[in-house]
C-alpha cells in the first residue's frame, strides 16, 4: 500500500466523506465533526473547518481543531481530529486526538499511521504531551495507543450513557523527529 498522508478535506472528498459518515454511523462514530449537517453545502462545511482550525467563530464549548483526511493514493481511508487545546470535556473524555478508519480499510496498520502523523501535527502545534482516550472495551484503539507509547493514566466513567474511557498520555517530541510506532 502507498504512503498515507493527512491533509485538509477538499471539495473532491465530498462523496467519500459522506459515505464514510454513513459507514461509521453503524459504529456510533461521527466521521465528520458533530457540527456536520448533511443538508449544508459541502463548500460551506469546508469553510467552517478552516475557521475552526484557525480558532475563528468557535462556539463556547469548542476549541481550535484540525479535521484531516487520511488519504492513500487519493482514497479516503480515515480521518483525524486534532484539538489544539483541551477544555474540561476533552480533558475528561475526548483528548487531543481522535481518529477513525473506514471499515473496509481496517486491520492494515492505518490507524497506527494516522496516530503517528497526528502526534507529529500535535508536536508542531506545541502540544508536548497529547491526551488520547478510547472506550475501555475498544481493544483495537487500546492496542494502537499503547503501540505508539501511550501511558495509561486512569479509566474514568464515560459521559452519561457511554462506556468508561481509558485516558492515555503520549509525548509528542519523538514523533516530530520521525519516530514510528512498532
Summarised one tens digit per residue, pLDDT across range 92-104 is 999 999 999 999 9
Q: Return the percentage of the chain with pLDDT > 70, whole number.
A: 98
As given in the structure block, the three cell numbers for residue 98 are 481522535
Q: 4-176 — its CATH code?
A: 3.40.630.30
pTM: 0.94
- For the chain, the domains span 4-176
The answer to whether the beta carbons of residues 163 and 136 sit under 8 Å apart is: yes
Mean model confidence pLDDT for the chain = 94
- Kindly report the backbone phi and psi dihedral angles of residue 124, in degrees, each rounded to the nearest multiple of 5, phi listed first: -65, -30
Summarised one tens digit per residue, pLDDT across range 109-135 is 999 999 999 999 999 999 999 999 999
Residue 34 makes CB contacts below 8 A (sequence gap 6+) with: none
Summarised one tens digit per residue, pLDDT across range 62-82 is 999 999 999 999 999 999 999
The answer to whether the beta carbons of residues 68 and 56 sit under 8 Å apart is: no
How many helices (DSSP H) and strands (DSSP E) are in the chain? Answer: 6, 7
Amino acid at each position: 500500500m502507498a504512503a498515507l498522508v493527512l491533509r485538509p478535506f477538499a471539495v473532491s472528498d465530498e462523496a467519500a466523506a459522506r459515505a464514510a459518515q454513513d459507514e461509521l454511523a453503524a459504529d456510533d462514530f461521527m466521521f465528520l465533526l458533530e457540527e456536520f449537517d448533511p443538508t449544508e453545502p459541502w463548500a460551506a462545511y469546508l469553510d467552517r473547518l478552516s475557521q475552526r482550525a484557525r480558532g475563528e467563530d468557535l462556539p463556547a464549548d469548542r476549541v481550535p481543531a484540525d479535521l484531516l483526511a487520511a488519504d492513500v493514493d487519493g482514497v479516503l481511508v480515515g480521518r483525524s481530529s486534532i484539538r489544539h487545546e483541551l477544555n474540561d470535556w476533552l480533558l475528561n473524555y475526548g483528548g487531543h486526538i481522535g481518529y477513525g478508519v473506514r471499515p473496509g480499510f481496517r486491520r492494515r496498520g492505518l490507524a497506527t499511521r494516522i496516530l503517528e502523523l497526528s502526534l507529529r501535527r500535535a508536536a508542531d502545534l506545541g502540544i508536548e504531551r497529547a491526551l488520547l482516550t478510547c472506550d475501555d472495551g475498544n481493544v483495537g484503539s487500546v492496542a494502537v495507543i499503547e503501540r505508539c507509547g501511550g501511558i495509561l493514566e486512569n479509566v474514568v466513567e464515560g459521559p452519561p450513557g457511554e462506556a468508561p474511557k481509558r485516558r492515555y498520555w503520549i509525548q509528542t517530541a519523538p514523533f516530530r523527529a520521525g519516530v514510528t510506532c512498532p
